[in-house]
Amino acid sequence: MRIPADVLAALSGRTKTDGHRLTLVGPRLPPALYQRVNEVLEAVGGRWTKAESAHLFSVRAAEALAPVLTTGEVVTPGEKRTLAQYFPTPAPVAGRLIALAALEPGMTVLEPSRRLRCHSHSSSPRRDRGLHRTGPQLRHCPVR
């Protein structure tokens, strides 16, 4: 997303970095502006930590923020999901669906998926009924 001018101004003029820490300096930002600033900081890997009163990064904060300040753009997690059109099914929902399907050994299941490697929807090997996700097309998956 293109970063609005007010957010970019806050990121360039109201931040202080110290290693992996980034703090906002000066008067408190209005809540709506802070929320948009926080969205950008989270998109580049920052996580607010109350104990530190700062956003912490896995890399040096200045290095994480530099491309954003240079380009004025950032790809948010929401944009990544939208671009990929991938919306993962929560494990509890998938587990309930598998239970309701009453799968038995010898049955075959068709499942569309964007995943490239097989894996079971079940979180427990003893509950694994053989329902697998594979490749971007429909696959026949035998139930074990």
DSSP character at residue 135:
S
Residue written as tokens 């240079």? 70
CB 123 within 8 A of CB 96: no
**Quick one: which H or E segment has residue 48?**
strand 47-49
The pLDDT tens digits for 69-82 are 999 999 887 787 77
**Given a cut of 60, is residue 122 above it in pLDDT?**
no
Confirm whether pTM is higher than 0.75: no
**Given a cut of 60, is residue 114 above it in pLDDT?**
no
Q: What is the pLDDT of residue 118?
A: 38
- pLDDT level of residue 22 (50, 70, 90 thresholds): very high
**Given a cut of 60, is residue 124 above it in pLDDT?**
no
The pLDDT tens digits for 28-86 are 999 999 999 999 999 999 999 999 999 999 999 999 999 999 999 998 877 877 777 76
